[in-house]
Structures are given as structure tokens and as C-alpha cells.
Amino acid sequence: MLLHIALVSTTPEVKLARLAPVSAAIQKQVMRDFGPLWNIQATIDAFDTLADVPVGYWHVLLQDELPSGAAGLHKRDDNKQPFALVALTNNWTVFMSHEVLEMLVDPQGTLTRAGNSLKRGQGRVEYLLEVCDPCQASKFAYTVNSVMVSDFYTPQYFDPVKSGAVRYSFTGKIGGPREVLDGGYLSWFDPETKHLFQLQVDGKKKTIVDRGEVPFAVESLRAFSDSVSTSRRDAVIHGGSRSGIMLNACTDFRSTPCVEHPQPTAVDDSQLAGARNLGAQLERIRVRKEE
Ligand SMILES: [Zn+2]
């Protein structure tokens, strides 16, 4: 089945011209890296305004600032379809990719995988299918077309045993089932207490947090998990990427903390050179025609 996602920026800081290359990068990530592993096909396109989005698309919206707990998955009031909100931060492209990938695997935010609990004393629990949370920190992101995108786990992440030859996340940074990387987290529902639990990892420190009973009126398990994970998100959202990776000026938050007036990088120079070369050829074609 082919799914359709629309990216729209509602902040004047990011115009369509800046959003389109990010959309192209996430589309390439989905087709090349993510789709074959999760058996999902989708189109990812950028649109100028909400009014330009065709009927039947799911929205991922970039906004200036979000009220606490509003980032992540929501359901529309009218047609009950999913949409996601992303805040404009220095590494917003990583979180845009994060929300797109999680929406494609579990649009309703309700899918779980059974497994033995990471909390001692708990039995079998239901892990939420949130493919980017354990590896959400920007230092684990990788680049597509020099745009930073999120690492994600593979379907083998919930395998009962670890195997040496298995890929647990796309970049290979996750080394075993239900492993959580620095700055990441993993959420599960405990059927016995009806509480949502999360394992949070900060460096070598691992903390298991009881988020309480899942409220009856909540939109979905994942919407609840997203809303109580604000501190997690904030802890990594301003984090830097590892040095040595090449980025577009428009997405390189190391050299251009503010998205305005980005300074061209080596990547942009290559891109400009390619455009110049094609421009010159088009000119030669035009001159030859006139001769
Ligand atoms: Zn997530």
C-alpha cells in the first residue's frame, strides 16, 4: 500500500524553498533505507500551505514553538487521521524524519510488540512501536543528500535473542534487541498495572520511570507517550551532530545556529558547481540551435 505524507512549514523562518530539499532527503531515506526494511512505500512531499495539501495526505507540520507536551503524534478531530508536530530547533530535520518514519510504521500510534519487561519483577509487557525513540539523539543521526535524518530501529529490534549477524538499527549503532542509546528512551505498557513505563538512558545512567495509568481520553498510546516525553525530547533536541559529517548550509546547525542567512558550505559549493555546469550546457544547446 502506498502512503502519502505532506510536510508543511507554518513558521516564516522556513520557506518552501528550504523545506523542499529536506522533503527530498526524507523521501530518499524512505525509499532507499527505511522502506525495504519495514516493507513500506510512501511519498513525502513539501507543500507551501495547509490549503495546498491534497485530500488523503497525513501532515507533518513544522512550527515555531510548541506548547509543552505537544510535539509528536496527534489525531485530527474531523477525520481521525494522524498528524504530527515538530518544533523549529537547530536540528529540526532529524525530528521531522523521526515523525515521518514513526507515522509510517504506526499511523494510529497504537501498535505494540510483546516482550519480557526491562523492569525487574514485571512479566510480559507491550512495547510501543516507536522506531526512532531509542536512537533519537542527533549524534546518532546520519545524512541523506547532506541533510540530517534520524536513525531508526529495524523489525528485529524486538527479537527474543541477540544475534551477531542482525541489524538492529539502520546505522548499526543499536547493538541488540531493546537496547536504548544515550539520549533515547523506550516505552511500554504493563497490562498488570495499566501504567506506561519508560526506560531513559543518559550516558551510562539508566532510569526506569513510571508514567502512571494511561488516561482513558488519550488519543493513542503513543500520543500519551509523546506528551510525557517532553524532557527527553528537550534533552536531545538542541544536541549537536558529530563533527566530520558534511551538511547543507540550510541544515548545518553547527555553523548556522540560526536558520536565517546560512553560510554556504563545501556541499553547497559542489551543488552550485553542478548547477553552473548544467547552466553552461543549456547555453551551448541554445547557441547551437541558433547557428
Ligand atoms: Zn518518537
Does residue 60 contact residue 6 with C-beta atoms inside 8 Å? yes
Does residue 10 contact residue 63 with C-beta atoms inside 8 Å? yes
Per-residue pLDDT, 260: 59
Indicate if the pLDDT at residue 231 is higher than 80. Answer: no
Distance 227 CA to ligand 1 centre (A): 10
Distance 119 CA to ligand 1 centre (A): 21
Distance 84 CA to ligand 1 centre (A): 10
Distance 82 CA to ligand 1 centre (A): 14
Q: Which of 14-23, 98-107, 209-218, 248-257 shows the lowest per-residue confidence on average (mean pLDDT)?
A: 248-257
Per-residue pLDDT, 216: 86
Ligand 1 is an ion; its neighbours by CB within 5 Å are 102, 130, 133
Distance 12 CA to ligand 1 centre (A): 25
For 51-98, the DSSP string reads GGSPTTPEEEEEES---TT-SEEEE-TTT--EEEEEE--TTHHHHHHH
Distance 208 CA to ligand 1 centre (A): 17
Distance 188 CA to ligand 1 centre (A): 13
What's the mean per-residue pLDDT of the chain?
Answer: 91
Per-residue pLDDT, 254: 66
Distance of CA 58 to the CA centre of its chain: 15
Q: Which of 48-57, 169-178, 196-205, 227-236 shows the lowest per-residue confidence on average (mean pLDDT)?
A: 227-236
Per-residue pLDDT, 247: 84
Distance 202 CA to ligand 1 centre (A): 17
Per-residue pLDDT, 120: 94
**Quick one: cell of 240?**
549537536
Q: Which of 14-23, 69-78, 161-170, 238-247 shows the lowest per-residue confidence on average (mean pLDDT)?
A: 238-247
**Quick one: cell of 216?**
482513558
Question: The cell 498510546 sits on which residue?
Answer: 221
Per-residue pLDDT, 68: 82
Query: 211 pLDDT band (50/70/90 cuts)?
Result: very high
Q: Are strands 58-63 and 2-9 parallel, antiparallel or unpaired?
A: parallel
pLDDT digits (tens, 9 = 90+) for 66-113: 888 888 999 999 999 999 999 988 888 999 999 999 999 999 999 999
Per-residue pLDDT, 27: 98
Please give the share of the chain, as a percent, with pLDDT higher than 70: 95
